[in-house]
Amino acid sequence: MARKISRRDLMKTGTAAGLAGAAASLTGAKAAPTMLTPQGVKPLVISDYSGFAYRNGGPQNCVERAFEMITGGSDVLDALMAGVNIVENDPTESGVGYGGLPNERGVVQLDSCCMHGPLKRAGGVAALEGVRTPSLVARAVMDQTDHHLLVGEGAQEFARHMGFAIEDDLNTPKSRELWLEWKRRVDPDHYLNPKERSIRGYEAGLAMLKEGLIPEHSFWGTVNCDGINAQGEICGVTTTSGLAWKIPGRAGDSPILGAGLYVDGDVGACGSTGRGEANLYNLTSFLIVENMRRGRHPKDAGMEGLRRIRSNTIEERLLNNRGEPAFNVRFFVLDKNGQYAGVSMYGAGELQYAICTENGAELLPLEGLLEGAPTD
């Protein structure tokens, strides 16, 4: 009987319990999972620092909202979406959604993806313009299409068809002012030499970072949020405006399954912030989930992922004076048993990540693989 339930039927059942039960029946017909579903997992939500720091003028931050909804019985992905929507809509967070720093032409282009562990479904959008909440469009790709990723104009057209409001400009006065400052520092003659231009533009951005004009989390600003409920159902979402002042059309790791986010409902979830290209090259979120599948604790799994990035970073322009990666990248890792960790290439810059449990929201120190700072 259960095997006759289609995925479309699953979406129509309407309750988290129904979804989870039907999905378990479906997956039960396949090869046994490598980790057993734990009984009585303690619900938990984990995110990067922005999931704690921003409230968009409201009473709750991202992890608090998601945790309240999860423990109130909402579908885990619905809860995580409601959480990250707070960050996306907050104009003071300049690395995500509305007010995220724009690309080199001054246009805000957003990336996001989401994964539903029990349903084993996913969706993503990249280089989406005009919608403050790309995570919800990624969710619509997951729910309404047979596809996993829509990009650029096609993603916007899809969003319009799905009833999302399309705005002409997602800049805020702050993001526009910072873009103008960056533009002032970049010689227009760079257009004659694309390679030099891209390096100098990146360096101008790094200089503004060092001068404290923009926080690190805005340069590669992203929010990743993952959660688990008492039934051990696990989901995740990642959303971002991507690298500040990027080449138009550049998509980072955030919309790419396995890079900015990976969820296997039988194993765990991992999402990332930081230099997307390093993460894309290694598909590190996937790698970290696979490490957990082999029995690694989230912290050890995350550290192995960081070591992989470190060993694959060999281009001189990406190395600091010590021959180590000249960038930071962070992973937020949650396993099927509710164990978690926040790890980063460097224990410098953005130092903390967030969790929310029955004890409320708190910030915890990220575990760094390397000493010092990326630019040392």
Minimum separation from the CB atom of position 309 to ligand GLY (A): 12
Minimum separation from the CB atom of position 255 to ligand GLY (A): 9
**Among 186-194, 268-276, 292-300, 315-323, which window interacts with ligand GLY (CB under 6 A)?**
268-276
Q: Among residues 277 and 300, whose Cβ is nearest to ligand GLY?
A: 277
Q: Among residues 222 and 282, whose Cβ is nearest to ligand GLY?
A: 222
**Among 42-50, 205-213, 271-279, 316-324, which window interacts with ligand GLY (CB under 6 A)?**
271-279
Q: Among residues 293 and 330, whose Cβ is nearest to ligand GLY?
A: 330
Q: Among residues 171 and 240, whose Cβ is nearest to ligand GLY?
A: 240
Q: Among residues 252 and 374, whose Cβ is nearest to ligand GLY?
A: 252
Among 99, 274, 302, 325, binds ligand GLY (CB under 6 A): 274
Q: Among residues 140 and 223, whose Cβ is nearest to ligand GLY?
A: 223
Site for ligand GLY, residues 189 to 228, rule: CB under 6 A: 220, 222
Minimum separation from the CB atom of position 225 to ligand GLY (A): 14
Q: Among residues 156 and 254, whose Cβ is nearest to ligand GLY?
A: 254
Q: Which two three-digit tokens encode residue 207?
A: 């200089």
Q: Are strands 121-128 and 149-151 parallel, antiparallel or unpaired?
A: parallel
Q: Which two three-digit tokens encode residue 12?
A: 């129509």
Minimum separation from the CB atom of position 275 to ligand GLY (A): 6
Q: Which helix (H) or strand (E) holds 46?
A: strand 44-48
All residues at 6 or more sequence positions from 141 whose CB lies less than 8 Å from its CB, including other chains: 123, 124, 125, 147, 148, 149, 150, 155, 158
Catalytic option among 222, 239, 240, 284: 222
* 3 state SS for 282-340: HCHHHHHHHHHHCCCCHHHHHHHHHHHHHHHCCCHHHECCCCCECCCEEEEEEECCCCE
Q: Which helix (H) or strand (E) holds 356?
A: strand 352-357
Site for ligand GLY, residues 96 to 155, rule: CB under 6 A: none
Minimum separation from the CB atom of position 182 to ligand GLY (A): 16
Among 99, 271, 276, 298, binds ligand GLY (CB under 6 A): 276
Q: Which two three-digit tokens encode residue 106?
A: 């001054």
368 binds ligand GLY (CB under 6 A): no
If DSSP codes are grouped into helix, strand and coil, which group holds residue 226? strand
Number of residues that bind ligand GLY (CB under 6 A): 12
Give the distance, in angstroms, between the CA of residue 156 and the centroid of all CA atoms in the same chain: 20
Least Cα distance to 373 among 200, 202, 178, 209 occurs for: 209
d(CA 165, CA 61): 24
Minimum separation from the CB atom of position 216 to ligand GLY (A): 11
Write the binding mask 224 to 263 for ligand GLY: x where contact by CB under 6 A, - elsewhere.
Answer: ----------------x-xx--------xxx---------
**Crossing angle for the helix pair 194-210 and 173-185, to the nearest 10 degrees:** 120
75 with 18: CB under 8 angstroms? no
d(CA 283, CA 288): 9
Minimum separation from the CB atom of position 124 to ligand GLY (A): 13
If DSSP codes are grouped into helix, strand and coil, which group holds residue 50? helix
316 with 324: CB under 8 angstroms? no
Q: Which two three-digit tokens encode residue 7?
A: 């995925």
Catalytic (active site) residue 375: no
Tell how many helices (H) and how many strands (E) occur in the chain.
13, 13
Q: List, by residue number, the catalytic residues.
A: 222
Binding positions for ligand GLY, rule: CB under 6 A: 220, 222, 240, 242-243, 252-254, 273-276
